Structure 1
Amino acid sequence: MRDRCWTVIKEDGNMVSAKQAPRLVLLSVTCEDGYITLNAPEMKALRIPVELPSTNSVWNCRRFGIEAQGRDCGDEAAQWITTFMNMVPCRLVHYEANMLTRKPGDFLPAFPPTDEVAYAEGSPILLISEASLEDLNNRLEKKVAITNFRPNILVTDCSPYEEDAWVEILIGNVELKGRMSCPRCVFTTIDPDTGIMNGKEPLKTLKSYRKCDPSEQHDFKNNPPFGWLYGIDKTGIVEVGDPVKQPQIW
């Protein structure tokens, strides 16, 4: 789950998401030999060690008013990310084990107080099925890619929205517990190939047929559910091709 352990912050400590800076979706990251490499259009690749010097400063990083911590990746990384995003000065920070985490249960009642995240909005796991995406695309004039939704687990060979009923699942040796469906926002309207937000689709179509349970209206507001957020009850290893199992067949 190291994929969600880096974030961009402004110099006041507030995290920057693609909802405020859509160009972030154009940034790609690879990790090899103890380094991450950042690539972006018209930018020279930036290589940063995963293990940062302990002398680098530690920032308090806020999202939804709740703080986590992150170690500064250095001035070169700060200049690179600021130039790429073409906005106010920003810093790149990295979450390290034993740093302060955020508790999604502080703002989403579906999450228990034991759940913790660093920089993700509410959950370390977002799962969507290919069938659900296909069903949505059948309703759209212009199809969208799965990258519009940024899941980190994509499931095949099931029915559309079957994942809505997967409360407990086992993938590899990792036990996952469903917390809530994912409320979708304007992030889904950012074209992953151009970094431009159109502000309408696929969100408009999702709102026309995907509705939250009335008891969850406070959490979802006007955002339609699509995909599921999971907590991790037992850590382990997940590999491409692993089957998704439910309790009766574990």
Structure 2
Amino acid sequence: MQLASMFVHPLKSARGIPYTRAFASWQGLLHDREWLLTDESGRFITARDYPQLLTIRCTLIPGAILFQAPDTAPIAALASEFDTPSATSVWKDHFTAYHGSPRTDAWFSRYLGIPCRLLWLGRHSQRKQKTSDHGLSFADGYPYLLLNQSSLDELNAQLPEQVSQRHFRPNLVVSGAAPYEEDDWKVVRIGAVIFDVAKPCTRCTLTTVNPDNGVPSADGEPLATLIKTRQLPEGICFGVNLVPRNEGLLQLGDPFEVLELRYTF
């Protein structure tokens, strides 16, 4: 078994960037989900409500990030401009991030058609993880999301049209395991980094949105099939959330090993 794919999503709900090598920190892959759009009250905005966010491309450059969208002139956000503390929230977590240049707010507001603000997580996150004092990015709740490629293959065998890894917005994808074997994983290792499997990842209608054009599927797939086949105690699940025990460099082809199972017989 090995690490087959990696993705960093610099802006929450925008398009991810495939990586062959990335630093795995306590907070997540370096630069993952460190930018966030909010409404004027500070509540987070995602592609669940504004699927056109999926069409925004991000390019990381030293000290800044470049945003590109269809039929729109690109714009760069300089981290040094984001120095005004701003209250925000992601689900039930309330914390402080940093607001910056109004020109980026105007760019996103025009593209989404609603008033919005761009926030930067900052050099040190003020948001804490559920199980430790380590910082957490703007991710939904955990620093890492892992998919098992064999589970995706099994799901695609049940669908009229195949879906990609990107429909599920993972950070890490592993190959060589059996389908849905991840339900039993408790502790895993990728390269030199050890992860605790926190829980199965619950899924929503965002999985039905085409990651290339932001258009929802007419038949509600793959969520319609997951509702029939992946009802777990936690909800409709696909993939698992991870919490690291240490930091380190990950690269494609790194060996993947299950160190401890959740259930023993």
TMscore range, shorter length: 0.7 to 0.9
Please list, as runs of the form range in 1=range in 2, the aligned pairs for 1:62-101 lying within 5 A after superposition: 62-87=89-114, 89-101=115-127
What number of residue pairs does the alignment pair up? Answer: 230
1:33: Cα distance to partner?
2.8
Q: Distance in 2 between matches of 1:47 and 1:53?
A: 11
Selected match of 1:44 from 68, 73, 78: 73
4+ long deviations beyond 3 Å: 113-116
- The answer to which structure, 1 or 2, has the higher relative contact order (CA under 8 A, 6+ apart) is 2
Q: Distance in 2 between matches of 1:134 and 1:204?
A: 16
Q: 2:160 maps to what in 1?
A: 141
Taking structure 1 as reference, are residues 150 and 35 closer, same or farther at Cα in structure 2, changes over 3 Å only? same
Return 20-29 or 165-174, whichever deviates more: 165-174
Which consecutive unaligned segments of at least 5 residues does structure 2 have? Answer: 1-28, 261-265
Taking structure 1 as reference, are residues 73 and 198 closer, same or farther at Cα in structure 2, changes over 3 Å only? farther
**Identity rate, percent:** 28
Decide whether the 8 Å contact of 1:4 with 1:124 is kept in 2: no
Indicate the SS of the match to 2:241.
strand
CA offsets 1:47-77 (integer angstroms, 9 cap, x no match): 222x3246x3121111224212221131111
Q: 1:26 maps to what in 2?
A: 55
Name the amino acid aligned to 1:212.
L
1:197: Cα distance to partner?
2.3
> Is the counterpart of residue 230 in structure 1 residue 242 in structure 2?
yes
Q: 1:201 maps to what in 2?
A: 221
Q: Which has the larger strand fraction?
A: 2
Selected match of 2:146 from 124, 127, 136: 127
Q: RMSD between aligned alpha carbons?
A: 1.9
Q: 1:109 maps to what in 2?
A: none
Which consecutive unaligned segments of at least 5 residues does structure 1 have? Answer: 106-111
Q: 2:179 maps to what in 1?
A: 160
Decide whether the 8 Å contact of 1:52 with 1:71 is kept in 2: no
Q: 1:13 maps to what in 2?
A: 42
Return 8-17 or 186-195, whichever deviates more: 186-195
